[in-house]
Structure 1
C-alpha cells in the first residue's frame, strides 16, 4: 500500500464521515470529530481489505473511492443510529 493510497483514504474518509454524519437521522448521537474518525478508519479498512484481496490500490480509481466512501458513510450512519441516544427536544 502506498502513501498516496493512505492519504486518499484519509481524505475520502473525512468527507464521507462528515456526509454520513449529516445523513444520519440521529446526528446528535455522536460528535463530529468522532464521525470523522469513524469515516477515516472505515475508509482505511476498505483500502486494506482491497489490498489483501489482491486489488491494486496504488492508483485510487473511481471504484476504490466509491467503496471507501460507501464503507465510511455506512459505518458512521450505523454507529450514529445504533447508539440509542434520544434528543431531549
Structure 2
C-alpha cells in the first residue's frame, strides 16, 4: 500500500467516525481520538464486508459501502461510549 492510500484511508476513517458519531442521539462519552480510531476500524471492516456482499464494486459512489461503514462506526462509538460511561 502506498503512502497516498494510507493517507486516504485515514481521512475516510475520520469522516466515517464523525458521521457514525453524528447519527447517534445524545452525548457520547469518548473523545475525538477514539472517534477517529473507531472510524478507521469501521471503514476497513466495512469495506471488507461490502466487498464480501458484492456492494463495493459499483459505478459511481458506493453508497451502500458507506452505509455499512457508518453503521459500523455508530455501533463502535455507542459500544465504546457505553463501556467508558460504566467506569
| Alignment TM-score, normalising by the size of structure 1 | 0.62
2:45: which partner in 1? 45
The 1-side partners of 2:55 and 2:64 are apart by 11
The alpha-carbon distance between structure 1 residues 61 and 21, as it changes in their structure 2 partners (threshold 3 A), is: closer
- The question of whether the paired residues in 2 share the 8 Å contact of 1:20 and 1:73 is answered with yes
Unaligned runs of 5+ in 1: none
Q: What is the CA deviation profile of residues 61-87 of structure 1, one whole-angstrom value per residue up to 9, with x for unaligned ones?
A: 11111111111122112211222356x
Unaligned runs of 5+ in 2: none
Structure 1 runs (4+) greater than 6 angstroms displaced: none
Query: What secondary structure is seen at the aligned counterpart in 2 of 1:83?
Result: helix
Q: What is the CA deviation profile of residues 43-62 of structure 1, one whole-angstrom value per residue up to 9, with x for unaligned ones?
A: 211111232x2525345511
The 2-side partners of 1:77 and 1:67 are apart by 15
Query: What secondary structure is seen at the aligned counterpart in 2 of 1:75?
Result: helix
2:54: which partner in 1? 55
How far residue 39 of structure 1 moved from its aligned partner, in angstroms, is 1.1
2:34: which partner in 1? 34
Root mean square deviation, CA, Å: 3.2
Query: RCO greater where, 1 or 2, for CA within 8 Å and sep 6 or more?
Result: 1
